[in-house]
Amino acid sequence: MGRTTAGGMRPGIKSLEPDDEAERVDMQVAVTRGMAEAAHKYLGRTNYIIIHRENLMLIALPRNNRRTVLISAEPDFPLERLPDLTRIVDDLYHA
């Protein structure tokens, strides 16, 4: 549905968008995930989705229960670290 159920910004970190725009970002991730899922039968499961913008990078990690872990990072986050990030989230998610 594109809504936040847990988490949020780290304490002391201010979001780049106003609070009333945060839902729009959540909905963008939900729509993008739905589009990716439509191709699963042809291309395989989606491991992560990257939305790279000028001021930040959004990394969406789809989970099996229709939820998505959304991580915001600096725009220069090294892509070679994505497999490690995925493993960390998997470990936390299954703990």
Longest dimension (CA), the chain: 43
SS3 48: coil
Query: Model-level pTM?
Result: 0.72
Give Cβ neighbours of residue 84 (< 8 Å, ≥ 6 apart): none
- Per residue in 16-55, pLDDT (tens digit) is 776 677 777 777 777 888 888 888 889 998 888 898 999 9
- Per residue in 1-17, pLDDT (tens digit) is 555 555 666 677 777 77
- The phi and psi torsions of 61 (rounded to 5 degrees) equal -115, 100
- Per residue in 56-78, pLDDT (tens digit) is 898 988 887 777 888 888 999 99
Q: What is the DSSP letter of 10?
A: P
Q: Where are the domains of the chain?
A: 19-93
